[in-house]
Chains A and B, each alone.
Chain A
């Protein structure tokens, strides 16, 4: 029954997206045309595929997961369409590809169970590292690393007639979560066991702390080599959250936060792109023409949007640099107003709530950690980028899951949702 309600909600999201696209066309002086129809079909196809795959491979999964995903994807797509129609048609393909990836993951884990991933722990770790390093690749003809806006976090695959850009960090984060969940599930007694006292502080055996330090160094390495503040912060905070979740020892949390602060301070001292971010965060209007321009434009967009927004296609989110990716939330805020912003925030809150619900009701240790890690990944990533737009935290350039333009992000997050759905199913049976 609720599965049918889920289907109805997904159809509603598809209709909402198509309606939004029609409004954008209308605002341009055109009429609702093939674009809205195509958008409806794409959304119906993509979410329909995932929905059917869940019915087939994870029938007991919660039905609270997919509808909010479709809701935020709807808002995101309308703005992507409004900002860049060409990219919107690519985004439509990526939606379908992401959905197919989710179907494949559901089918695979459906046959073997999510626990199969635990066996591939080290493979996941290695592939995560490789994915992270890929953007550093020199030009190898078919494949090469690429720098965009000062951050080297892209690879470009040359496919004869066209080049396909991909951000491997979006998949690397999933690989690392998969690895960490398995590692922590296997090592739990050691991490909570032997402790050593240094003065007043009791810490685990230094040997057990090694992974924490390794990941810290690794995150900093990502930051230094690729200038990717977002990915490095996300990786590290998910790791700290997960290790705390596994051990229940708040020492990991405070230690992790301390390391994060130290790393952040060193980065702020060493790199002027980090300094610019901090300046733009504290007072974007002190250097509006320079470092603060993007954040300032985002704030102007939100203020101008006010309660009801300008209406799709009626505002000027195109004034915000990177509106289509990092600042998609500001674009929604400008054109859909406070109402739209709150709807989006509620959508993410629902996804995160569903994710934590799955984690908390899991009996199996590995699945619990995996669900926690996946939910943390999505939740922290959402917080970091929306918080960056809203000046709650310094801006880190990462995508907003399901809303930003970008194939790797969509594919990665569809896989994330598929894994959560599968865990949910396995724990309910």
Chain B
């Protein structure tokens, strides 16, 4: 009677083997699937209450810090002293509301390693530093605060870059939210309230909202024409008040249905300075979708930026425009299906300012340890060459004229040569979206900027890029250069 017993033993060991197989599946093979399931709150829970490193600006203003909880000695509370102004950059990390921004993308550096996992204990034994790292961002707090103030009561965004490095100097989205509300008690309700808010304060308008770039896109069309030698600023175009779109009954007209100049002909330069839609629709169709798309791509369209959080992808739908001249004409003035983020348009301005070389935008400059010793420096990265230096110089001249004699006059700053381009895009909700992109000073640019104000800045149909966005850009440029 040992045989049946032996068989039972074998059966039981086979059953145990199944347990071993199952546990191997859960703990070795399918770890990521279960660990990263959104319903699994363990990772968020393990970070909550732990000490995290500080996030500071380039000049030492503290944007996020961990304060010891007075009730629980081992627990820390995350505080955001600058509140809503820096929320789109810093983000938040919260057990109940998730995490975004630098808080999310640098979570691994910011977290304390003093949690006695085996690998961390080994690292400590080998002389590793278990204390949390701190992160320095490139944001200039004065500029950031001022930009947020200038957007008060509006929906919009400001992105300012250092053209020669790609460092982000300001990254503002308005309205914003106070991240402290999302880490404290009542975070779930606070988050729901923010989600339900019709002004969508949780949306990152600077890098994760797509808008029709309107006439600011003419910089790309003009750059494509000049770079390819297809046109120069002196190239003449017919001056009409209405440009008929080929294969369509629709037409394109200028702002206020006016002629661009005198009804005869107009140079590219004047058309750019006065932002004449008729000429740019014409030019885009003559150029073709491919060169315009290639130039847009060279400036960073059609791929996301990594700030390090991922931003929305600005798009120029080149393929669908190849055989559709009517749509191409509308796209040439930044309407129809062209979409861009304020961040992307700031990169366009920065690349022109940087003699045609686009720098990759980034927000984190360095990581340092708890003793303040720098551990890692993020160096500027060349995103790519958008234009030849010569073409960039021509574009700079055109853009300077926009501010000196054109639609962008209100961005001018006394004693400073400012270059720029306005845009007034057909908003989705009736009133237009006001744009301004630009840089200064022209001879040695230290700031490139994109300003977007939704809904005409509240001025209805009169809210143009020149009247609403350009003054904000001018004020910020003045502030930056006076620092």
Which residues of A pack against B, CB within 8 Å?
Answer: 23, 26-29, 241, 244-248, 285, 288, 296, 299-311, 314-316, 319, 333-334, 337-338, 341-342, 345, 348-349, 352-353, 356, 359-360, 365, 368, 372, 376, 379-380, 383, 386-387, 390-392
B347 to chain A, nearest CB (A): 39
Q: Does B483 contact A (CB under 8 A)?
A: no
A299 touches B117 (CB 8 A): no
A359 touches B40 (CB 8 A): no
Q: How distant is the Cα of A379 from the Cα of B26 in the complex, in angstroms?
A: 22
A310 touches B117 (CB 8 A): yes
Q: How distant is the Cα of A246 from the Cα of B1 in the complex, in angstroms?
A: 7
For A305, list chain B residues within 8 Å (CB): 27
Could you give 17 example pairs across A and B, Cβ below 8 Å?
A: A246-B4, A248-B1, A288-B39, A299-B34, A303-B34, A311-B118, A314-B115, A333-B23, A333-B27, A338-B28, A353-B13, A356-B12, A368-B5, A376-B8, A383-B16, A390-B26, A391-B22
B19 touches A303 (CB 8 A): no
For A310, list chain B residues within 8 Å (CB): 46, 115, 117
Shortest 4 CB-CB contacts between residues of A and residues of B: A303-B34, A29-B74, A390-B22, A338-B27
**In the complex, number of A-B residue pairs with CB atoms less than 8 Å apart:** 148
B114 to chain A, nearest CB (A): 10
For A247, list chain B residues within 8 Å (CB): 4
For A311, list chain B residues within 8 Å (CB): 115-118
B7 to chain A, nearest CB (A): 8
Q: How distant is the Cα of A345 from the Cα of B28 in the complex, in angstroms?
A: 16
A345 touches B5 (CB 8 A): no
Q: Which residue of B lies closest to A289 (CB)?
A: B39
A314 to chain B, nearest CB (A): 6
A304 touches B40 (CB 8 A): yes
For A333, list chain B residues within 8 Å (CB): 23, 26-27
A316 to chain B, nearest CB (A): 5
A118 to chain B, nearest CB (A): 17
A349 touches B13 (CB 8 A): yes
For B32, list chain A residues within 8 Å (CB): 303
Q: How distant is the Cα of A198 from the Cα of B332 in the complex, in angstroms?
A: 89
Q: Given contacts A302-B34, A314-B117, A316-B42, are A342 and B23 in contact (CB under 8 A)? A: yes
Q: How distant is the Cα of A12 from the Cα of B6 in the complex, in angstroms?
A: 32
Q: How distant is the Cα of A309 from the Cα of B32 in the complex, in angstroms?
A: 14
B12 touches A368 (CB 8 A): no
A341 touches B74 (CB 8 A): no
Q: How distant is the Cα of A319 from the Cα of B42 in the complex, in angstroms?
A: 9
For A345, list chain B residues within 8 Å (CB): 16, 19-20, 23
B23 touches A390 (CB 8 A): yes
A298 to chain B, nearest CB (A): 9
Q: How distant is the Cα of A187 from the Cα of B5 in the complex, in angstroms?
A: 18
Q: Which residue of A lies closest to B120 (CB)?
A: A311
For B12, list chain A residues within 8 Å (CB): 352, 356, 376, 379-380, 383
A125 to chain B, nearest CB (A): 22
The 8 Å CB contact of B22, one of A29, A248, A392, is A392
B108 to chain A, nearest CB (A): 16
Within 8 A of A (CB), among B49-70: none
- Interface residues of B, count at CB 8 A: 42
For B1, list chain A residues within 8 Å (CB): 245-246, 248, 365, 368
The 8 Å CB contact of A306, one of B3, B27, B40, B116, is B27
B16 touches A300 (CB 8 A): no
B432 to chain A, nearest CB (A): 45
B40 to chain A, nearest CB (A): 4
The 8 Å CB contact of B42, one of A301, A307, A348, is A301
Q: Does B250 contact A (CB under 8 A)?
A: no
Q: How distant is the Cα of A349 from the Cα of B20 in the complex, in angstroms?
A: 11
B27 touches A302 (CB 8 A): yes
For B26, list chain A residues within 8 Å (CB): 299, 302-303, 333, 390
A402 to chain B, nearest CB (A): 16
Chain B 29-45, CB-CB to A under 8 Å as 1, else 0, gives 01111110101111101
For B2, list chain A residues within 8 Å (CB): 360
A387 touches B8 (CB 8 A): no
For B124, list chain A residues within 8 Å (CB): none
Q: Which residue of A lies closest to B73 (CB)?
A: A29
Q: Does B370 contact A (CB under 8 A)?
A: no
Q: Does B9 contact A (CB under 8 A)?
A: yes
Query: Chain B CB within 10 Å — which of A246, A300, A302, A303 has the most?
Result: A303
Q: Does B286 contact A (CB under 8 A)?
A: no
For A288, list chain B residues within 8 Å (CB): 39
Which residues of B pack against A, CB within 8 Å?
Answer: 1-6, 8-9, 12-13, 15-16, 18-20, 22-24, 26-28, 30-35, 37, 39-43, 45-46, 73-74, 115-119
Q: Given contacts A245-B4, A338-B28, A376-B12, are A304 and B23 in contact (CB under 8 A)? A: no
Q: How distant is the Cα of A306 from the Cα of B119 in the complex, in angstroms?
A: 12
Q: Which residue of A lies closest to B16 (CB)?
A: A349
Q: Which residue of B lies closest to A308 (CB)?
A: B118
A338 touches B23 (CB 8 A): yes
Q: Given contacts A304-B35, A341-B27, are A383 and B116 in contact (CB under 8 A)? A: no
B18 touches A387 (CB 8 A): yes
A313 to chain B, nearest CB (A): 8
For A380, list chain B residues within 8 Å (CB): 12
Q: How distant is the Cα of A364 from the Cα of B118 in the complex, in angstroms?
A: 49
Q: Which residue of B lies closest to A387 (CB)?
A: B19
Q: How distant is the Cα of A228 from the Cα of B214 in the complex, in angstroms?
A: 70
For B22, list chain A residues within 8 Å (CB): 387, 390-392
B19 touches A383 (CB 8 A): yes
A241 touches B13 (CB 8 A): no
For B15, list chain A residues within 8 Å (CB): 383, 387, 392
For B4, list chain A residues within 8 Å (CB): 244-248
For B45, list chain A residues within 8 Å (CB): 316, 319
The 8 Å CB contact of B40, one of A29, A303, A368, is A303
Q: How distant is the Cα of A282 from the Cα of B56 in the complex, in angstroms?
A: 49
Query: Chain A CB within 10 Å — which of B34, B37, B117, B119 has the most?
Result: B34
B8 touches A352 (CB 8 A): no
Q: Given contacts A307-B28, A319-B42, A337-B27, are A392 and B19 in contact (CB under 8 A)? A: yes
Q: Which residue of A lies closest to B11 (CB)?
A: A241
Q: How distant is the Cα of A247 from the Cα of B4 in the complex, in angstroms?
A: 8
A244 touches B27 (CB 8 A): no
Q: Given contacts A248-B1, A360-B6, A372-B8, are A300 and B42 in contact (CB under 8 A)? A: yes
Q: Which residue of A lies closest to B8 (CB)?
A: A241
The 8 Å CB contact of A316, one of B34, B35, B46, is B46
Q: How distant is the Cα of A360 from the Cα of B22 in the complex, in angstroms?
A: 29
Q: Which residue of A lies closest to B45 (CB)?
A: A316
A390 touches B28 (CB 8 A): no
A300 touches B39 (CB 8 A): yes
For A28, list chain B residues within 8 Å (CB): 74
For A360, list chain B residues within 8 Å (CB): 2, 5-6, 9
Q: Which residue of B lies closest to A315 (CB)?
A: B42
For B116, list chain A residues within 8 Å (CB): 23, 26-27, 311, 314
Q: Given contacts A352-B16, A387-B19, are A245 and B33 in contact (CB under 8 A)? A: no
Q: How distant is the Cα of A304 from the Cα of B19 in the complex, in angstroms?
A: 18
Q: How distant is the Cα of A378 from the Cα of B469 in the complex, in angstroms?
A: 76
Q: Which residue of B lies closest to A299 (CB)?
A: B34
Q: Which residue of B lies closest to A249 (CB)?
A: B4
For A309, list chain B residues within 8 Å (CB): 117-118
The 8 Å CB contact of B9, one of A27, A303, A356, is A356
B23 touches A302 (CB 8 A): yes
Q: Which residue of B lies closest to A371 (CB)?
A: B5
B8 touches A304 (CB 8 A): no
B35 touches A303 (CB 8 A): yes
Q: How distant is the Cα of A341 from the Cα of B27 in the complex, in angstroms?
A: 9
Q: How distant is the Cα of A390 from the Cα of B40 in the complex, in angstroms?
A: 17
Q: Which residue of A lies closest to B41 (CB)?
A: A319
Q: Which residue of A lies closest to B15 (CB)?
A: A383
A26 to chain B, nearest CB (A): 7
Q: Which residue of B lies closest to A365 (CB)?
A: B1
List 9 additional A-B contacts (Cβ < 8 Å) besides A248-B4, A301-B42, A338-B23: A28-B74, A245-B8, A303-B27, A304-B42, A311-B116, A316-B45, A360-B2, A360-B6, A383-B16
